[in-house]
């Protein structure tokens, strides 16, 4: 299958195949079955009813695209499932269809691109479609990015949404949560925290920015820094002062417990010349 980016219409998706009117047939709606790689799971009934009414009035203007099933007289949809469903609701016996020769991978890619172009997928469906392409055909995120016309970080972010708890994914699927609202939840520690904040988002209608702030506040705190030890601070100051005197890094280490009054002073040097310079400086200080 050729790489076809997101475009403005079916013609741009199908290229020369769309222009070849000899491939357009009137097929019985009962001989057509859905694309087995269709990423879209939910079809809004009110939207289908509206499209069905339009088809009843003006007919189906844009043909669907199909491929013939091997060893069968039936056809699988490549693109246009929504139009096919609406045509059946409108009572049409036949619909115009472009017959194409696609392999399974081409079917999967075309179904995904068409839905992305029409913005028909919810975030969970979109993420699952990307994952299926990767798992089934061994594609990398970069390769999926090139095929569907999205950036690689965008693909990665949509895939990460599939790591959210099932209840949160249900909110995404139903449109109660947007991807922007849900993404900050990934930074929280437990599933319980993610679900709790997701419920609050739905209840209070929090914006993505508000969710980011709440998620940031709810992230597990890093181990608190040790309180500054006055002795350590004093030794650090001495290290800096001595370092300025000799012109290189100085480290002071002291023991603990009964050895607290013992320790070492280390002076770093990078080469023989610096060693000679420091040795000469210390020798002169002792005279």
Task: Give residue 268's pLDDT.
Answer: 82
120, 140, 155: which is the final residue of a domain? 120
Higher pLDDT: 201 or 22? It is 201
Per the CB < 8 A criterion, the answer to whether 18 and 96 are in contact is no
Per the CB < 8 A criterion, the answer to whether 66 and 75 are in contact is yes
Please check whether residue 139 lies inside any domain of the structure: no
Least confidently predicted of 65-69, 113-117, 222-226: 222-226
Helix (H) or strand (E) holding 75: strand 75-79
pLDDT bin (cut points 50, 70, 90) of residue 149 is: confident
Q: Looking at the predicted structure, is the pLDDT value of residue 223 above 60?
A: no
Please check whether residue 198 lies inside any domain of the structure: yes
52, 86, 120: which is the final residue of a domain? 120
Q: Are residues 198 and 252 in the same domain?
A: no
Task: Give residue 18's pLDDT.
Answer: 46
| pLDDT (average), residues 155-162 | 92
Among candidate residues 110, 106, 100, the one with its CA nearest the CA of residue 148: 110
Task: Give residue 1's pLDDT.
Answer: 41
Per the CB < 8 A criterion, the answer to whether 172 and 42 are in contact is no
Q: Looking at the predicted structure, is the pLDDT value of residue 186 above 80?
A: yes
Q: Are residues 214 and 259 in the same domain?
A: no
What CATH number does residue 39 fall under? 3.90.1530.10
Considering 81, 114, 125, 126, which one is annotated as catalytic? 81
Q: Are residues 69 and 109 in the same domain?
A: yes
Per the CB < 8 A criterion, the answer to whether 110 and 17 are in contact is no
Higher pLDDT: 255 or 97? It is 97
Task: Give residue 37's pLDDT.
Answer: 73
Please check whether residue 151 lies inside any domain of the structure: no
Please check whether residue 238 lies inside any domain of the structure: yes
Please check whether residue 130 lies inside any domain of the structure: no
233: left (phi over 0), alpha (psi -120 to 50) or beta: alpha
pLDDT bin (cut points 50, 70, 90) of residue 160 is: very high
Q: Is 263 helix (H, G, I), strand (E, B) or coil?
A: strand
Beta-carbon contacts of 191 under 8 Å, excluding residues fewer than 6 positions away, are 165
Q: What are phi and psi of 207, to 5 degrees?
A: -80, 165
Tens of pLDDT, residue by residue over 53-103, are 888 888 887 888 888 888 778 898 888 888 888 888 888 999 898 888 888
**Assessment of whether the complete model's pTM goes beyond 0.85:** no
pLDDT bin (cut points 50, 70, 90) of residue 218 is: low
On average, the pLDDT of the chain sits at 79
pLDDT bin (cut points 50, 70, 90) of residue 231 is: low
Q: Are residues 113 and 14 in the same domain?
A: yes
Joined tokens for residue 217: 């506040």
- Find where tokens 């189906």 sit: 60
Please check whether residue 128 lies inside any domain of the structure: no
Task: Give residue 201's pLDDT.
Answer: 93
Task: Give residue 267's pLDDT.
Answer: 86
Q: Does the annotation mark 126 as catalytic?
A: no
Q: How many whole angstroms separate alpha carbon 233 and alpha carbon 243?
A: 15
Q: Are residues 251 and 201 in the same domain?
A: no
Task: Give residue 286's pLDDT.
Answer: 58
Task: Give residue 228's pLDDT.
Answer: 55
Split into its structural domains, the chain has a count of 3
Q: Are residues 191 and 235 in the same domain?
A: no
Please check whether residue 224 lies inside any domain of the structure: no
Top-ranked range on mean pLDDT: pick from 2-11, 71-80, 133-142, 164-173 = 164-173
Please check whether residue 286 lies inside any domain of the structure: no
Domain range spanning residue 256? 230-277
Q: Are residues 23 and 95 in the same domain?
A: yes
């Amino acid at each position: 299958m050729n790489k076809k980016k997101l475009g403005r219409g079916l013609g741009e998706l199908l290229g020369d195949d769309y222009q070849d009117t000899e491939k357009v047939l009137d097929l019985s709606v009962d001989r057509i079955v859905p694309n087995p790689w269709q990423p879209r799971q939910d079809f809004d009934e009110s939207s289908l009813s509206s499209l069905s009414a339009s088809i009843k009035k003006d007919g189906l203007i844009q043909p669907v695209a199909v491929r013939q099933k091997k060893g069968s007289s039936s056809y699988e949809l490549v693109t246009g499932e929504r139009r096919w469903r609406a045509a059946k609701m409108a009572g049409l016996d036949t619909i115009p269809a472009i017959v194409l020769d696609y392999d399974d991978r081409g079917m999967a890619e075309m179904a995904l691109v068409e839905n992305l172009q029409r913005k028909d997928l919810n975030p969970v469906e979109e993420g699952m479609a990307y994952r299926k392409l990767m798992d089934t055909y061994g594609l990398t995120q970069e390769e999926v990015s090139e095929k569907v016309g999205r950036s690689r970080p965008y693909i990665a972010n949509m895939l990460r949404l599939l790591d959210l708890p099932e209840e949160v994914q249900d909110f995404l699927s139903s449109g109660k949560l947007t991807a922007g609202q849900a993404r900050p939840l990934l930074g929280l520690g437990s599933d319980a925290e993610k679900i709790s904040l997701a419920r609050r988002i739905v209840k209070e209608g929090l914006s993505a920015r508000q969710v980011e702030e709440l998620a940031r506040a709810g992230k597990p705190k890093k181990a608190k820094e040790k309180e500054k030890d006055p002795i350590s601070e004093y030794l650090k100051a001495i290290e800096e002062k001595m370092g300025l005197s000799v012109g290189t890094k100085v480290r002071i280490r002291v023991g603990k417990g009964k050895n607290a009054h013992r320790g070492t002073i280390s002076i770093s040097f990078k080469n023989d010349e610096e060693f000679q310079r420091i040795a000469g400086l210390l020798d002169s200080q002792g005279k």
